[in-house]
């Protein structure tokens, strides 16, 4: 879902009030350029050199904690996708929203999955007040020895009352060749809403994988997070518009294999997932990719991944998180993981896991 609950009129009133709470004219003018994604931010970008954490262009952050000589197995790979809810969660306590830091629980939940090759993170807040200035993706990448990129979706540093960047991260245990961050537009939102509500993005890395013939090929691995909200047509149209952009991005990868994961805020069988998985003769002729969901490939109609914000003990009631693949091998073992004790759950989402055999 989203880190802010964008469902009612009162939230819109609050959010627009916050918009007007500017710290001087300079901040206001800074907005005009801050929210217009430039072509360079959407272009392929060579990773910057250096070990550890490095700031990249367009609000991206690069992480390099993996073994530079690490290589993927020839026979299989394992992926984990996890909406970490900022590295914490909110709880309604006596009519007050209370934030409960739980990055340690998030990392424990990741560690419980054993060895994995790729980790997609959604709802990552980098350096914001909501996470006490921490970069959760950096902490996680360092602990598990991963390389990857955080892609900026929404820049709260321009709102006057926060200091953070909100987006997704895609991390892997092998070095990446290139990375890309694509910002979804919000053309059906008015100017005011575009400044306040969380923008979304897709973060992608390209890695080299061995082929059965002994050669090498590119694999594109992506983490994404589509807009939240289900009470109005506007939210559905947001996601459908984002899916159009996502399909265009995947088309540019040609015949390279693709592993796509994330929080799509859409149930299996929904209009949005149908649009993403559609593959007609016209789509094929136009060069679009045929994506197949882990649900379909493993014969599971539904895997519960989301229980809600305020009660981690409640069983999952929705599947908003998905894996989709193209040009890869057989999918196995798709599941969501839940700790035995509800209070050990680090987010309102559960991590999902997928094994792929080449």
Q: What is the pLDDT of residues 150-208, one digit of tens each?
A: 999 988 877 665 668 999 999 999 999 999 999 998 666 665 666 666 789 999 999 99
Phi-psi region of 287 (alpha: psi -120 to 50; beta: other; left: phi over 0): left
Residue 2 domain flag: no
| Dihedral (CA of 289, 295, 298, 304) sign | positive
Residue 1 domain flag: no
What tokens does 81 get? 């996708």
Residue 91 domain flag: yes
Q: Are 148 and 141 in contact (CB under 8 A)?
A: yes
Question: What are 226-271's pLDDT values in tens digits?
Answer: 998 766 788 899 999 999 999 999 999 999 999 999 999 999 999 9
| Dihedral (CA of 48, 53, 42, 210) sign | positive
Residue 4 domain flag: no
- The reported pTM is 0.85
Look up the domain containing 84 and give its range: 9-357
Phi-psi region of 173 (alpha: psi -120 to 50; beta: other; left: phi over 0): alpha
Locus of tokens 């921490």: 134
Mean pLDDT for 332-349 is: 87
Q: Please state, in angstroms and rounded to a whole number, the distance separating the CA atoms of residues 322 and 312.
A: 20
Residue 25 domain flag: yes
202: domain CATH number? 3.60.10.10
Q: Are 70 and 174 in contact (CB under 8 A)?
A: yes
Task: Report the number of distinct structural domains present in the chain.
Answer: 1
Residue 162 domain flag: yes
Q: Please state, in angstroms and rounded to a whole number, the distance separating the CA atoms of residues 170 and 62.
A: 10
pLDDT band at 20; cut points 50, 70, 90: very low
Mean pLDDT for 78-101 is: 71
């Amino acid at each position: 879902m989203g880190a802010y609950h964008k469902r009612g009129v009162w939230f819109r009133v609050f959010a627009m009030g916050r918009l007007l709470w500017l710290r001087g004219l300079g901040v206001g003018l800074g907005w005009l350029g801050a929210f217009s994604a430039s072509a360079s931010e959407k272009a392929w970008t060579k990773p910057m050199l250096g070990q550890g954490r490095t700031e990249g262009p367009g609000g991206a952050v690069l992480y390099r904690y993996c073994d530079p000589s690490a290589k993927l197995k020839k026979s299989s790979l394992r992926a984990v996708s996890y909406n970490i809810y900022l590295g914490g969660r909110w709880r309604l306590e006596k009519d007050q929203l209370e934030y409960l830091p739980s990055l340690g629980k998030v990392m424990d939940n990741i560690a419980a999955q054993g060895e994995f090759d790729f980790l997609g993170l959604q709802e990552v807040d980098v350096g914001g007040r909501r996470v006490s200035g921490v970069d959760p993706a950096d902490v996680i990448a360092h602990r598990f020895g991963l390389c990857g990129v955080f892609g900026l979706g929404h820049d709260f540093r321009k709102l006057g009352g926060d200091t953070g960047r909100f987006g997704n991260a895609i991390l892997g245990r092998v070095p990446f060749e290139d990375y890309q961050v694509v910002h979804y537009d919000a053309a059906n939102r008015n100017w005011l809403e575009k400044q306040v509500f969380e923008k979304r993005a897709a973060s992608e890395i390209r890695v080299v994988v061995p082929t059965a013939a002994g050669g090498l090929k590119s694999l594109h691995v992506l983490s994404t997070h589509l807009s939240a909200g289900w009470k109005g047509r506007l939210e559905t149209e947001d996601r459908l518009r984002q899916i159009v952009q996502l399909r265009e991005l995947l088309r540019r990868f040609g015949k390279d294999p693709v592993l796509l994961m994330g929080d799509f805020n859409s149930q299996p069988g929904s209009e949005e997932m149908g649009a993403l998985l559609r593959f007609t003769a016209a789509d094929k002729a136009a060069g679009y990719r045929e994506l197949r969901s882990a649900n379909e490939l493993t014969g599971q109609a539904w895997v519960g991944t989301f229980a809600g914000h305020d009660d981690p003990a409640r069983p999952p009631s929705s599947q908003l998180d998905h894996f989709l693949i193209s040009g890869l091998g057989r999918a196995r073992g798709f599941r969501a993981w839940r700790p035995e004790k509800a209070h050990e759950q680090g987010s309102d989402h559960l991590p999902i896991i997928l094994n792929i055999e080449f």
